[in-house]
């Protein structure tokens, strides 16, 4: 028997179910979002480390108490890949620590990926909230800590092969007890982590932000009553579950398959890691079966089942219910099957989890590919789909270390949709990080940014084109050790949908010539004197080419002497719809803006344009007769 829709409940039935009026539940749902907005904004404004204050590498959630099943009615508008894991990790952490042991003024922490998802640098901070001695919820932050020990400063290396070299692992424990620091916990962290002074300041700021969230939740309880607040939590989650079920029901019943590839691991290039998913849909439920996905990798590029679950929720929200809020309720009509010991469900001690984004972003693209057929015009093109991170480590004159994790290719294009062309400079789909001002980087580390350019003819062609690849050149003034994550260049991640075509693949290059501040070109002939580090690269020119041999990055670290230039070129976004149906006027505009060349306009779109886009972009003209003939012939 079908349960009545929430919208069909009359006022009395709603009040019996949720302990408050529909109006109050709606207001409280907005207050929950207001609470997390304030917590997040406070941390963003007051954090000390660049990874928090400049990159937004944290997330906040509000969680209901155990007696109503730990619902998560709201997540912050920040690091998306954290928020899904936090729907489970709060329960995991509190249940292991002991519900009866928490009290007012406590902060409970944990960072074990197998308990809380993501990686060891992402510390989970939980503040239990009490009203009249009753536990009525938790305010939570997961925030990246600049270092948690391990074999590499900052932690960013794929060359870690057991949990014992990955970094300090903290099982659930108290950081604060009754408002006072638990000294042995603080000492444990600082005895194992670099940058202890910076971590201390960040952690104190996080504790203050959780206290703010606690006071805002208690304000709502004082105004509306504890029963109404808990009822509103359940209502928001139920409403999201209903929305997701309704969205799933719009798909035809059926079964579809998708796949994506992680190129290799950090041991050698002998093994690929395919991600495979089979999606089965019946009625208002959907099953995502990850059987056939590769075994856990030998290096630190694995994810946990929590990261896989997060990715499934994110992908289905994007595709089926993009305007709805993300809560723990979205998973209610979703079943996920995943074998133990896969790259998306790694097990310790060998299944090291750090660069989990390599495997989880491949899963997201596999889901996008599987659902492209049933979604049709509603399908979404693939994006940059990889962190493409670069961790640089060096020493200051006083011998103290510095670390940078923001000079790689982590910002790039999205895929096109039925709504229009894709943006070209965003975080990949599972992240909502900001791009730090160049001046901030150059003030803190010995680097000069020479270029952030879009790459001509890279966007996936379509009625709506994908976003362009981004080329970023960094010029290093001192001796530096570079740790690279370049694992998604064998295949295009920017899949085309609904008749659109795939985007291009990128790569990484290195120039070691000592000529100060030489600006290397992006055209095909301008790579010849570079060292090809990774990607599908022409053996003679070193330029990227989709049918060229694949180059394996293959080193634990790339050391450079002063005045080296490192280039990251991202993958590009996939197109949407038949390219021959794109407006010729838009193609002309793209040529003028440098997204497409004259040859690309002719080859990919059948559009003939006369003029010189370099010397006279405003003088370009569309040859309408030749375009009609070219498109007719191509059609």
- Closest by CA to 473, choosing from 499, 446, 445, 509, is 509
Query: Band of the pLDDT at 523, cuts 50, 70, 90?
Result: confident
Name the token pair of 460. Answer: 């996936």
> How far is the C-alpha of 533 from the C-alpha of 507, rounded, in Å?
7
Close Cβ partners of 294 (under 8 Å, ≥ 6 residues apart):
262, 272, 273, 274, 275, 342, 343
Instruction: Give φ, ψ of 543 to 5 degrees.
Output: -75, 150
172 pLDDT higher than 60? yes
Name the token pair of 492. Answer: 């295009």
**pLDDT value at residue 314:** 95
**pLDDT value at residue 518:** 64
Give the pairing type, strands 334-337 and 285-289.
Answer: parallel
Give the pairing type, strands 285-289 and 273-282.
Answer: antiparallel
Name the token pair of 258. Answer: 């998708």
Give the residue with greater pLDDT, 526 vs 142: 142
Query: Band of the pLDDT at 514, cuts 50, 70, 90?
Result: low
187 pLDDT higher than 80? yes
Provide the edge-to-edge strand list for the sheet that holds 173-177.
74-75, 58-63, 134-144, 122-131, 107-110, 173-177, 180-181
Instruction: Give φ, ψ of 227 to 5 degrees.
Output: -60, -40
> How far is the C-alpha of 292 from the C-alpha of 343, rounded, in Å?
11
pLDDT digits (tens, 9 = 90+) for 320-369: 999 999 999 999 999 999 999 999 999 999 999 998 999 999 999 999 99
Q: How many CB atoms lie within 10 A of CB 523?
A: 10
- DSSP alpha helix (H) spans, 122-195: 183-192
Q: Specify whether the CB–CB gap between 393 and 480 falls below 8 A.
A: yes
Q: Quick one: average pLDDT of 430-441?
A: 81
In this structure, what is the dihedral angle of CA atoms 354, 358, 363, 369, given to the nearest 10 degrees? Answer: 170
Instruction: Give φ, ψ of 175 to 5 degrees.
Output: -95, -35
632 pLDDT higher than 70? yes
Query: In whole numbers, what is the pLDDT of the chain averaged over residues?
Result: 93
- Closest by CA to 59, choosing from 42, 45, 75, is 75
Close Cβ partners of 132 (under 8 Å, ≥ 6 residues apart):
226
Tell me what percent of the chain is helix, strand and coil, each rounded to the nearest 5.
Answer: 35, 20, 45
Name the token pair of 393. Answer: 């480590």
**pLDDT value at residue 593:** 96
- Closest by CA to 486, choosing from 555, 574, 413, 577, is 555
DSSP string covering 180-204: EE-HHHHHHHHHH-SSHHHHHHHHH
Q: Which of 4-13, 510-519, 550-559 has the lowest mean pLDDT?
A: 510-519
Instruction: Give φ, ψ of 191 to 5 degrees.
Output: -75, -15
Give the residue with greater pLDDT, 317 vs 156: 317
**pLDDT value at residue 579:** 98
**pLDDT value at residue 1:** 44
pLDDT digits (tens, 9 = 90+) for 379-422: 999 999 888 888 898 988 888 888 887 778 888 999 999 999 99
212 pLDDT higher than 70? yes
Query: Band of the pLDDT at 2, cuts 50, 70, 90?
Result: low
Percentage of residues in the chain having pLDDT higher than 70:
98
Please, what's the b/e burial string for 164-189 (b: 16 or more CB within 10 A of its CB; e: otherwise)?
A: eebbbbbebebbbbeeebbeebbeeb
- Closest by CA to 290, choosing from 302, 304, 278, is 278
Q: Which of 76-85, 450-459, 519-528 is most confident?
A: 450-459
Q: Specify whether the CB–CB gap between 520 and 526 falls below 8 A.
A: yes
Element (DSSP H or E) covering residue 273: strand 273-282
**pLDDT value at residue 158:** 83
Compute CA distances 18 → 3, 27, 225, 231, 236, whole Å. 16, 14, 12, 4, 10
pLDDT digits (tens, 9 = 90+) for 274-329: 999 999 999 999 999 999 999 999 999 999 999 999 999 999 999 999 999 999 99
Query: Band of the pLDDT at 517, cuts 50, 70, 90?
Result: low
Considering the entire predicted model, what is its pTM? 0.95
Half-sphere exposure of 215 (CA within 13 A, CB side): 7
**pLDDT value at residue 490:** 95
**pLDDT value at residue 440:** 82
Instruction: Give φ, ψ of 378 to 5 degrees.
Output: -85, 0
- Closest by CA to 407, choosing from 436, 382, 434, 379, is 436
pLDDT digits (tens, 9 = 90+) for 582-611: 999 999 999 999 999 999 999 999 999 999
């Amino acid at each position: 028997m079908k349960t009545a829709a929430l919208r069909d409940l009359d006022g009395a039935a709603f009040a019996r179910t949720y302990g408050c009026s529909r109006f109050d539940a709606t207001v409280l749902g907005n207050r929950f979002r207001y609470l997390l907005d304030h917590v997040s904004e406070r941390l963003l404004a007051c954090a000390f480390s660049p990874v928090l204050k400049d990159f937004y590498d944290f997330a906040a959630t509000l969680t209901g108490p155990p007696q109503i099943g730990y619902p998560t009615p709201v997540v912050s508008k920040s690091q998306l890949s954290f928020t899904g894991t936090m729907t489970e990790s709060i329960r995991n952490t509190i249940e292991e620590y002991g519900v009866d042991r928490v009290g007012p003024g406590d902060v409970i922490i944990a960072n074990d990926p197998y308990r809380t998802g993501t990686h060891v640098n992402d510390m989970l901070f939980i503040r239990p909230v009490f009203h009249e001695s009753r536990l009525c919820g938790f305010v939570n932050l997961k925030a990246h800590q600049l270092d948690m020990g391990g074999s590499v400063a900052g932690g960013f290396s794929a060359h870690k092969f057991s949990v014992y070299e990955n970094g300090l692992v903290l099982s659930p424990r108290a950081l604060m007890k009754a408002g006072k620091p638990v000294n042995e916990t603080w000492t444990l962290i600082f005895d194992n982590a670099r940058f202890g002074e910076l971590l201390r300041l960040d952690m104190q700021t996080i504790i203050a932000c959780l206290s703010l969230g606690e006071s805002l939740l208690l304000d709502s309880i004082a105004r509306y009553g504890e029963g109404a607040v808990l009822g509103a939590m359940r209502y928001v989650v139920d409403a999201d579950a209903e929305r997701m079920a309704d969205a799933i029901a719009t798909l035809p019943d059926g079964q579809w398959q998708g796949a994506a590839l992680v190129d290799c691991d950090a041991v050698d290039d002998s093994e690929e890691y395919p991600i495979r998913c089979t999606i089965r849909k019946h009625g208002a439920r959907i099953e995502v079966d990850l059987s056939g996905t590769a075994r856990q990798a030998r290096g630190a590029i694995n994810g946990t089942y929590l990261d896989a679950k997060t990715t499934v929720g994110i992908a289905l929200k994007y595709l089926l219910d993009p305007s709805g809020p993300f809560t723990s309720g979205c998973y209610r009509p979703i079943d996920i099957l995943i074998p133990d010991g896969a790259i998306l469900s790694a097990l310790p001690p060998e299944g090291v989890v750090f660069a989990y984004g390599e495997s989880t972003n491949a899963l997201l693209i596999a889901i996008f590919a599987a659902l492209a057929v049933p979604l049709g015009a509603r399908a979404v093109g693939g994006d940059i789909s990889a962190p493409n991170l670069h961790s640089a480590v060096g020493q200051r004159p006083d011998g103290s270390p510095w670390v940078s994790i923001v000079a790689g290719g982590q910002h790039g294009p999205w895929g096109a949709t039925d709504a229009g062309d894709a943006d070209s400079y965003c975080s990949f789909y599972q992240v909502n990080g900001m791009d730090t001002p160049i001046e901030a980087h150059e003030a803190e580390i010995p680097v000069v940014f020479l270029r952030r350019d879009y790459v001509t003819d890279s966007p996936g062609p379509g009625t709506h084109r994908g976003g362009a690849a981004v080329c970023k050149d960094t010029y290093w003034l001192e001796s530096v050790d570079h740790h690279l994550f370049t694992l998604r260049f064998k295949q295009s991640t920017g899949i085309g949908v609904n008749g659109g075509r795939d985007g291009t693949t990128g790569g990484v290059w290195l120039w070691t010539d000592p000529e100060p501040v030489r600006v290397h070109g992006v055209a095909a002939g301008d790579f010849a004197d570079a060292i090809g580090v990774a990607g599908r690269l022409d053996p003679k020119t070193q330029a990227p080419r989709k049918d060229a041999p694949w180059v394996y990055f293959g080193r634990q670290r790339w050391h450079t002497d002063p005045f080296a230039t490192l280039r990251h070129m991202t993958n590009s976004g996939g197109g949407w719809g038949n390219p021959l149906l794109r407006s010729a006027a838009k193609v002309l505009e793209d040529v003028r803006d440098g997204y497409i060349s004259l040859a690309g306009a002719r080859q990919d779109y059948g559009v003939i344009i006369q003029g010189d886009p370099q010397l006279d972009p405003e003088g370009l003209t569309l040859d309408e007769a030749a375009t009609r003939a070219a498109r007719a012939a191509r059609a």
